[in-house]
Amino acid sequence: MPKQTIRDLELKGKKVLIRVDFNVPLKDGVITDENRIVEALPTIQYILEKGGRAIVFSHLGRVKDESDKAKNSLSVVAKRLEEHLNQPVVFIPETRGKALEDAINKLNDGEVLMFENTRFEDLDGKKESKNDPELGRYWASLGDVFVNDAFGTAHRDAASNVGIASNIEHTVAGFLLEKEIKFIGGTLESPERPFVAILGGAKVSDKIEVIKNLLNISDYVLIGGGMIFTFYKAMGLEIGKSLLEADKVDLAKELLELGKGKIILGDDVITGKAFDADTEKNVRSIEDIPSDELGMDIGPRSIQLFEKYIQSAKTVVWNGPLGVFEFPRFAEGTRSIAQAIADIKDKATTIIGGGDSAAAVIQFGLKDGFSHISTGGGASLEYLEGKILPGIECVDDK
């Protein structure tokens, strides 16, 4: 069912609650990747242009005790948002109370307020994460309408998405959430073919349901990353010291049988003596991995094989790096596949499924080379599994 979007609301003079995903990485108090802030700007700017009073909020990091609060304050994000919007952002270092309520009531049309990290409420019984009914009602009372634009938390049933939506008259999708629904949800429902899915990452266990779902709807599933070695083990191959989920070998056998003709595995890998950026680099056939080496990347023949499938595709969805791309000498597989996907952007729909895959393509300078880069890691995975996401389900239907 199509969802209502921000375009369906009259915003002038309204107090507009906006749940964004500003869970950005910080190092020594400095934002190291502001992609999630940038992606939310169109929604916030639209609200301001239409005369709405923007009340922005997000979670940031994990907040388990009082010591986590100082390093996970959204104050630094509010300052960066202010710079992007080129206008003041009122920051209230509270998640509830009179100071917050008074500041909201003083807002004029076209002004912005941000309040503190929603996860601060988790210090008292995980009220945010467990969707405490009272907290959802309280946050809903602060606004007239609710715009959910946080795909990164769409797989969570939290007070700051489902809780608010349950207690307010109108809940709509912002432009970012709308885009995620269109590209991921729409592609899974009716992909243009050939549809090629590429899965990487460390563990088969993280991708079991994704593999099963994609085997049903895609034409080919290309598999790389650390999890490939569990599949090689299932094929009776020796994998040396490579990453192995021994308890998932039988499952890998089942998946190989289920995906016969659809699951594509490369036939060579890059190995090293140790999991280290400076370890030696060797190209090995998958039948000849030495007992004292471990796989670190897909090999050149595997890259060529994957490129062949990508070049013929009309739809590509990629989730999970194909090697240890954080180490430059073991980044070639991930980089080459990213480039191959970017090369077909003009003739295919190409989607990067968030998380490490998104980090990789940004690191390689290829951010603009794809139809869509998802802002959600866990949310993207669950969407690719075919699950109903609470943060999308709670948005009003058209």
Tokens of 43: 């929604």
Q: What is the mean pLDDT of residues 31-55?
A: 95
**Domain hosting residue 305, numbered range:** 191-384
Q: In this structure, is residue 186 part of a structural domain? A: no
- 214 beta partners: none
Rounded percentage of the chain residues whose pLDDT exceeds 90: 88
What are the CA-CA distances from residue 137 to residues 49, 152, 345 (Å)?
A: 28, 22, 44
Q: How far is CA 124 from CA 94, 118, 167, in A?
A: 14, 12, 21
Mean pLDDT of 286-300: 98
Do 77 and 161 fall within a single domain? yes
* pLDDT of 378 above 90: no
**118 with 207, same domain?**
no
pLDDT of residue 376 exceeding 90, the answer is: no
The chain-wide mean pLDDT, for the chain, equals 95
**251 and 280 share a domain?**
yes
Q: Is residue 375 part of a domain?
A: yes
What's the pLDDT tens digit per position in 154-187?
Answer: 999 999 999 999 999 999 999 999 999 999 999 8
Contact 395, 148 (CB under 8 A): yes
Backbone φ and ψ for 307, nearest 5 degrees, come out as -60, -35
Inform me whether the pLDDT recorded for 354 exceeds 90: no
Residue 267 covered by a domain: yes
CB-count burial class (<10 Å; 0-12, 13-18, 19+) for 235? middle
Does 145 lie in the same domain as 214?
A: no
CA-to-CA separations, 280 to 268, 274, 296, 321, in angstroms, rounded: 16, 8, 11, 21
For residues 352 and 112, the answer to whether their CB atoms sit within 8 Å is no
pLDDT at 66: 87
Q: Which residues contact 277 (CB under 8 A, 6 or more apart)?
A: 326, 327, 328, 329
Residue type, 186: G
Question: Using an 8 Å Cβ cutoff, are 112 and 88 in contact?
Answer: yes
In a domain, 396, yes or no: no
Same domain, 132 and 243: no
Active-site hit among 19, 36, 119, 233: 36
Instruction: Kindly name the residue from 203, 262, 314, 367 that is annotated as catalytic.
Output: 203
* Tens-place pLDDT, residues 100-137: 999 999 999 999 999 999 999 999 889 999 999 999 99
In the set 355, 369, 377, 391, the catalytic residue is 355
* 343 to 312, 330, 388: CA distances (angstroms): 11, 21, 32
The active-site residue, picked from 51, 61, 378, 386, is 378
Same domain, 149 and 249: no
Mean of the pLDDT values across residues 294-318? 98
Length of the chain: 398
In a domain, 261, yes or no: yes
Question: 149 and 62 share a domain?
Answer: yes
* Domain edge (last residue) among 153, 178, 203: 178
Cα–Cα distances in angstroms (integers) from residue 129 to residues 74, 176, 305, in the given order: 17, 22, 43
* Residue among 176, 187, 140 at smallest CA distance from 161: 140
pLDDT at residue 1, as a whole number: 75
Same domain (yes/no): 274, 173: no
36 is catalytic: yes
For residue 360, count CB atoms less than 10 angstroms from its CB and return exposed for 0-12, middle for 13-18, buried for 19 or more: buried
How far is the C-alpha of 260 from the C-alpha of 189, rounded, in Å? Answer: 23
Does residue 369 carry a catalytic annotation?
no
Number of domains within the chain: 2
Mean pLDDT of 325-342: 97
Residues 196-220 have a mean pLDDT of 94
Q: Is residue 319 part of a domain?
A: yes
CATH code: domain of residue 161:
3.40.50.1260
**375 contacts 211 by C-beta, under 8 angstroms:** no
Same domain, 73 and 157: yes
12: left (phi over 0), alpha (psi -120 to 50) or beta: beta
Q: Judge if 60 and 113 occupy the same domain.
A: yes
Find the angle CA(37)-CA(169)-CA(103) to the nearest 5 degrees: 55
Q: Global pTM? A: 0.90
pLDDT value for 28: 87
Confidence of residue 199 (pLDDT cuts 50, 70, 90): very high
Distance (Å, rounded) from C-alpha 266 to C-alpha 338? 16
The answer to whether position 395 is within a domain reads: no
- Residue 116 and residue 232 in one domain: no
Gap between the Cα atoms of 373 and 162, Å rounded: 24
Give residue-wise pLDDT tens across range 247-277: 999 999 999 999 989 999 999 999 999 999 9
Pairwise CA distance, residues 106 & 100, whole Å = 10
Tokens of 81: 């948002």
Confidence of residue 67 (pLDDT cuts 50, 70, 90): confident
Q: Which domain-ending residue is among 178, 206, 229? A: 178
Task: Establish if 389 belongs to a structural domain.
Answer: no
Domain boundary among 111, 146, 178: 178
Give the per-residue pLDDT at 70.
Answer: 85
Domain identity same for 328 and 224: yes
Measured CA to CA, the distance from residue 151 to residue 390 in angstroms comes to 10
- pLDDT for the residue numbered 177: 97
- Nearest Cα residue to 300 out of 317, 318, 286: 286
Residue bearing the bigger pLDDT, 314 or 188: 314
Q: Catalytic residue at 19? A: no
